[in-house]
Amino acid sequence: MKISIQVFPAKNGDSFLVSYGSEVYRNILIDAGYSHTFNHCIQRELERLAAQNESLDYLIITHIDSDHILGAIALLKSNFKENFINIKNIWHNAFRHLHNLNDLPETIDHRSKGLLNRVISRGFKKSEVDHNNGEVSAKQGTTLAAHILKGKYLWNAEFNGRAVCIENSRRIQLDENSSIFLLSPDSTKLEALKKYWTGKLAEYGIDYSQSAKELYDDAFEMLMSWEKKKGVSTEGPKSSTSETVETLLQEIDICDTTPTNGSSIAFIINIQEKKLLFLADAHPDIVLKSLNEFQSAGLILFDVIKVAHHGSSANTSKALLEKIDAKKYIFSTNGYKDKHPDKSTIARIISRPTGFRRELIFNYITDNSRFFDNLEWKEKYNYSITYLTEEPYTLRLNGENF
């Protein structure tokens, strides 16, 4: 069984392609970064898979945020025109998955319709689009939900078309050799997102009980992408030369409380004996609770951990790190936003006693990755640093064990 993870250069975003198999391969794309990520990396790789008669078995969009979904919009838009790869399943929570749309009327009053179109016409944040060379026009039909509907893809099929959340399905069997164990979100996290959405509509004077399904999907996606990230660490690099691992460990936990990050789809991919942990931007409380259900006693050793929220300390609590460890930790960010990864996150990871050498894997060279590229610390804390900055940006796992 060969297993590989491509860690695409998604700027300050996320995009991973997990491929595994022996003769027949499965391919799972987890987020798609920005449109730049699709144009320069993802499309070429998916076309290569299609040329080998392979499909994209799953496209998993973990939550609504520009650095995760803009590339997926570009992907689905291009695939609708060119049909260059078969996409078998899509996981993504939209407006329709937070409400029972069958209980809502099909009509919408003229005023609310106009206000919703104003929300949609604002588009995604200009700073995000410009920084990442994207071409996302501000009009209805540019959203991910719109393209999923247009392409008639299987959408949250393993959850009977409902929300991807642990109450609807916990373990999804992919085949005899692999499965996904869902860690986040739960109904409480999705209810918080719904409450945030309702409050935002009230600011616009819109009553969401008057429903036009596709219109609300689009407006929901646009509004959530503009969410202010309150409660998220913006630690960034400090100029002090006296900083050490020990001083960084003294920083207190700051928990992410943002509804969009709380709605993140986080999970474990089990492939035979291998365990891969993808944490998206999930809140550490729900992840820890679910991990204890996955394995109640003792430390869980993973082969790979994709560190939550680009290494934000607000998503990597001390309690969470008491439950998990791995030989390989992936940090996905160029440090453009919030100067991630936070130094305190890295310090928390490397400082724990270990019987193996941890490998910190970065897809960009950042100020904070350089800070830990310290020979004395590498020896003292038993870790190494690897940069996946050149094609094919690939991490291979076959044959490695603890």
Q: What pLDDT digit, counting tens, does each position of 32-49 carry? A: 999 999 999 999 999 999
Mean pLDDT for the stretch of residues 52-70: 94
Whether the CB-CB separation of 245 and 178 falls below 8 Å is answered with no
Contacts of 352 (CB under 8 A, 6+ apart): 321, 325
Span 121-150, mean pLDDT?
60
More confident residue, 136 or 366: 366
Domain definitions of the chain by residue range: 2-227+236-396
Q: What dotted CATH number matches 2-227+236-396? A: 3.60.15.10
Q: Give the pTM.
A: 0.89
Cis peptide upstream of residue 185 (ω within 30 degrees of 0): yes
**Helix ranges restricted to H, 295-357:** 318-321, 343-350
In this prediction, residue 382 carries a pLDDT of 97
Least confident segment among 32-46, 125-139, 199-213, 254-268: 125-139
**pLDDT higher than threshold 70 for residue 237:** no
Label residues 196-215 b or e (16+ Cβ within 10 Å = b): bbeebbeeeebebebbbbbb
The answer on pLDDT for 137 being more than 80 is: no
Judge whether residue 14 has pLDDT over 90: yes
Q: Give pLDDT, residue 284.
A: 97
d(CA 8, CA 67): 12
- The whole-angstrom distance between residue 293's C-alpha and the CA centroid of its chain comes to 22
Give the mean pLDDT of 79-101: 89
Distance of alpha carbon 192 from alpha carbon 331, whole angstroms? 27
